[in-house]
Structure 1
């Protein structure tokens, strides 16, 4: 690419500072994902992990309801952390996978700073972006795939700057792009768009296209059939969610729905991005073109991506984090006034403080769950009922939707409501089998398959639960078993 500077080794003192920063970030991320974090789907993915392990162990009760699959285009972390699940349980493995994803974000950012010769300390500006909508909604495969896509883009930029065949870079690109595709197709699609933009605007276009073709041949071949199926679903009516562009939600969904999570989780990254974009536009003649091309491509992709597509929901709001990270390497931060840089750092710290505050508040709100899931359920199917709906106090996100699935994730057995009815999940119902999903104890028929329940809420138990007796109580949680 034109005007790209050569990377230089980081000074030893800076390397130590970055190592300490990553250690501090790792400790903070570990605290966030410990216990019961506010991540909507994470307990469901954890239950998927534990159920997959039970299937591989040959548990007959579990295999009577569920079967294992290796889907293309979704769910790599569930299989990747399977050894951890087998050694511990799905709850620990899911938390470790979420922690790993949070660690991969600054590492991917560091890869960009290395390739584009930016100061490594600028990784601080990108830390709040790790807590994007894929984290809060607990979209584990999506959260895991986003930094993999960023690492792939950084490696491709490195390959473009090199000379010759770059065999090692191509092999690495093939592995990273395949891992991205196997984690989540949305991130892989964004990766393809970014690489295409870089290749088509490269000075040596022929070589750039050749590198991209060599690095992406494997994942494209593997997912081609799945992509065609999803493309057909996007334009064909059916039982799945209809395609919905949701123009207004591109601009207000995050700000409207982030409440106790912290307004700065949206305003902060937008402010930082604007500062770096303006700085780039003022100094674009002295700065490399590649990150600007990539930023524009990823930003345009966000704008044209529907809210719901091929049965999947909230597709568009998963993408801004990619453009946000790239924005932070548009320009040398030395071109930004020091006072403004200091203000941006204060915004970052305040945003992370809001994130920490909500994690603490949510864990206090659902206290008692860890106590009850520490004991295994009785034989049979166990379930989860919320008497207070699926939204936590003050939040618009459905944090209570899957909380009871931490029981399945921790102890195993036959659980429910972890997406086993979806054709893209690693664990699915066997043909002819099904269990109720979200439950409000509205009818005895709904509760009939269950031998034990976790009930959340302090309200009196409804009459439909008269066939159960309380065997445990902690906080606002009750454990019920059949009489």
Structure 2
């Protein structure tokens, strides 16, 4: 007769309750109009991708679909959701899925090292990292996949469970990570290599790593070479920039209304766990420390901008932050310190919630206007107040009007279709203005309808449009 341990049963129910509460909080954060810079653009990509595949002639005249490697897996993965609903819902669901994957990935790593499940609470603020705020959906999606892949590799190294199954899982997860975002895949490769080279059974560890990483490495090799060559050749892409100082001050300098605790809280936790590990390193496994050091060094070596990608380095500290929470058994940390760490999580998430509420209140009215389809032709978005909001240094207003395309489809603009890294791009010979400054009638010429954000009189360049609806600070204009 099996006897169920009441303590373990209670712990499981507490974990379930935590995940349910977190899921509800995450759903509220991504509902409506969340403060996430690029998310509306990715949502518009999703909807346009679906319209092209459906054969919408108006959309297909401007855009075409292709399958780039190393970026965009969430757009393909959530295509069925987009086809059944729209790009706006699919993008929000994708963002919610990632917010749920972070604690699950943390839990998988915690169990690999025999850490208690409650430590998942400490990692919750890390889910709101720079990839969330900037809405880098492919990068955001790839981060927990990389953590899950590391957990599988560690299980295989320990020989626990079915090694063959773990290797198949690692190959699938590493490929999914690569197809989502190459930077996160690079971090995964660095982490696996560090674990393999410092393993007691190095030959076996290297062999397992080769089996798990070979498929995505072979798939992306040509793409990586192309991107590296772009870094050293002239073009209209972002100029390479190492940005040494920004490795230490970018997050603290730029996280303002979003909440300083979103940076301070993980830094404090990392410091506590590092100190505890150094004091008890002889009694603790070496693997978490190796991973933490490898990911930390990778962060310091990664440039700020390279091969057309921007803010590469600040996407990586979240991985090291999660690993830091596994460095030592929390039982070795004094109880008052553990209580303080847990208490820090509450105000950090409260700051995050407050900023979401303020932002949604500021842009109220947009949901009403995007609920109605645009007229035939090209529809666009202009902000009369610049691209910053709530005193933040992040450009939350940059793509905000692309929720119209994401909800209703049609021919929209400014969702990265001028690049080759996303599944939707302009057809050869076609292009539309991206960010518009509202001062040029020439820029506005292709558009039949506009969403305009900001109070005050319209510029003279808008003389060809008339206002058809106004809600809050939002106006809908249509060509006279």
- TM-score normalised to the size of structure 1? 0.97
- 1:31-70, aligned counterparts within 5 Å? 31-70=28-67
User: Deviation digits for residues 441-476 of structure 1, max 9, x if unmatched?
Assistant: 111100000000000001211111111111111010
Pair 1:367 & 2:360 matched: no
Q: Where does residue 341 of structure 2 map in the other structure? A: 344
Match of 1:13 among 3, 10, 13: 10
Summarize the Cα distance change of 1:209–1:29 in structure 2 as closer, same or farther, 3 Å threshold: same
Q: Quote how far apart the aligned CAs of 1:237 are.
A: 2.5
8 Å CA contact 2:74–2:141 kept in 1: the answer is: yes
Q: Where does residue 288 of structure 2 map in the other structure? A: 291
What is the alpha-carbon distance in structure 2 between the residues aligned to residue 172 and residue 91 of structure 1? 30
Gaps of 5+ in 1: 1-7
Match of 2:352 among 352, 355, 362: 355
Pair 1:250 & 2:247 matched: yes
User: Deviation digits for residues 331-360 of structure 1, max 9, x if unmatched?
Assistant: 000111110111111111110000000000
Pair 1:401 & 2:398 matched: yes
Q: Where does residue 379 of structure 1 map in the other structure? A: 376
8 Å CA contact 2:155–2:161 kept in 1: the answer is: no
The count of aligned residue pairs is: 476
Match of 1:120 among 117, 120, 125: 117
SS in 1 for 2:400: coil
Summarize the Cα distance change of 1:10–1:316 in structure 2 as closer, same or farther, 3 Å threshold: farther
What is the alpha-carbon distance in structure 1 between the residues aligned to residue 234 and residue 203 of structure 2? 41
Q: Where does residue 197 of structure 2 map in the other structure? A: 200
Pair 1:317 & 2:314 matched: yes
Match of 1:426 among 391, 403, 423: 423
Q: Quote how far apart the aligned CAs of 1:164 are.
A: 9.6
Q: Quote how far apart the aligned CAs of 1:185 are.
A: 0.2
What is the alpha-carbon distance in structure 2 between the residues aligned to residue 76 and residue 320 of structure 1? 22
What is the alpha-carbon distance in structure 2 between the residues aligned to residue 223 and residue 43 of structure 1? 27
Pair 1:416 & 2:413 matched: yes
What is the alpha-carbon distance in structure 2 between the residues aligned to residue 439 and residue 346 of structure 1? 45
SS in 1 for 2:448: strand
Q: Quote how far apart the aligned CAs of 1:163 are.
A: 6.4
Match of 1:467 among 450, 455, 464: 464
Q: Where does residue 304 of structure 1 map in the other structure? A: 301
- 1:78-97, aligned counterparts within 5 Å? 78-97=75-94
- CA RMSD of the aligned region, Å? 1.2
Q: Where does residue 97 of structure 2 map in the other structure? A: 100
Q: Quote how far apart the aligned CAs of 1:65 are.
A: 0.5
What is the alpha-carbon distance in structure 1 between the residues aligned to residue 348 and residue 453 of structure 2? 30
Pair 1:456 & 2:453 matched: yes
What is the alpha-carbon distance in structure 1 between the residues aligned to residue 169 and residue 100 of structure 2? 19
Q: Where does residue 481 of structure 1 map in the other structure? A: 478
What is the alpha-carbon distance in structure 2 between the residues aligned to residue 60 and residue 447 of structure 1? 22
Q: Quote how far apart the aligned CAs of 1:236 are.
A: 2.1
What is the alpha-carbon distance in structure 2 between the residues aligned to residue 80 and residue 243 of structure 1? 31
User: Deviation digits for residues 197-227 of structure 1, max 9, x if unmatched?
Assistant: 0000000001101101111111001000000
Match of 2:214 among 214, 217, 226: 217
Q: Where does residue 238 of structure 1 map in the other structure? A: 235
What is the alpha-carbon distance in structure 2 between the residues aligned to residue 83 and residue 99 of structure 1? 16
What is the alpha-carbon distance in structure 2 between the residues aligned to residue 165 and residue 222 of structure 1? 26
Match of 1:334 among 331, 335, 344: 331
SS in 2 for 1:404: helix
Gaps of 5+ in 2: none
- 1:270-289, aligned counterparts within 5 Å? 270-289=267-286
8 Å CA contact 2:240–2:307 kept in 1: the answer is: yes
Runs of 4+ in 1 over 4 A off after TM superposition: none
- Which sits farther off after the overlay, 234-243 or 82-91? 234-243
- TM-score normalised to the size of structure 2? 0.98
Q: Quote how far apart the aligned CAs of 1:165 are.
A: 7.7
What is the alpha-carbon distance in structure 2 between the residues aligned to residue 201 and residue 9 of structure 1? 39
User: Deviation digits for residues 40-68 of structure 1, max 9, x if unmatched?
Assistant: 00000000000000001100010000000
Summarize the Cα distance change of 1:163–1:361 in structure 2 as closer, same or farther, 3 Å threshold: closer
SS in 1 for 2:469: strand
Q: Quote how far apart the aligned CAs of 1:440 are.
A: 2.0
Q: Quote how far apart the aligned CAs of 1:393 are.
A: 2.4
SS in 2 for 1:244: coil
What is the alpha-carbon distance in structure 2 between the residues aligned to residue 381 and residue 368 of structure 1? 21
Q: Quote how far apart the aligned CAs of 1:10 are.
A: 9.0
Q: Where does residue 130 of structure 1 map in the other structure? A: 127
What is the alpha-carbon distance in structure 2 between the residues aligned to residue 239 and residue 465 of structure 1? 30
Pair 1:73 & 2:80 matched: no
